[in-house]
Homo-oligomer: A and B are copies of this chain.
Amino acid sequence: MNIKLIVIGKLKEKYLRDGCDEYIKRLSKFCNLKVIELDEYRLPDKPSQKDIDNALSSEAKNILKYCEGYIVSMCIEGNQISSEDLATKFESIALNGYGTITFIIGSSFGLDSTIKSQSNFKLSMSKMTFTHQIARMLLLEQIYRAFQINNNGKYHK
């Protein structure tokens, strides 16, 4: 299985880079993982709604170039599923012939509606707002957990 993670912006905090690196390393046993870090559109200090819309639209054009296979957009209004259901979803996606799952995490302003509407699934990890940087580590942990569940690993027991 190929997993692609498209994210906007660099991780600013060392502890999050270290956390992500740890799960990226662990995931290498289970899948071919690519993390594609795209540039964040630069916004003025107090951006208007139009500034934000332009940024999201510009980021979306860039994101679409890298989308492939089964597309999962991360957004707070998406569907919440348990870790076990995410693991089952991985299996059914593979059974449906997809070789790649692409997860997309937007910037702090989220994702453009074109990305959401072109996704196969909208996934929310929580009703709470996390920084998109923390979301990256959480998602990597959930992907690792899904593989552990499907491989009957100790991690989820």
Q: Which residues of A contact B (CB under 8 A)?
A: 13-16, 18-19, 22, 80-83, 86, 125-131, 134, 137-138, 141-142, 145, 156
In the complex, the answer to whether A127 meets B19 with C-beta atoms within 8 Å is: no
CB distance from A9 to the nearest CB of B (A): 16
In the complex, the answer to whether A142 meets B128 with C-beta atoms within 8 Å is: yes
> Residue A138 contacts which of B15, B22, B83, B130 (CB distance < 8 angstroms)?
B130
CB distance from A37 to the nearest CB of B (A): 18
In the complex, the answer to whether B129 meets A83 with C-beta atoms within 8 Å is: yes
Given contacts A15-B19, A19-B13, contact A128 B125 (CB under 8 A): yes
Instruction: List chain B residues, Cβ under 8 A from A81.
Output: 127-128
CB distance from A124 to the nearest CB of B (A): 9
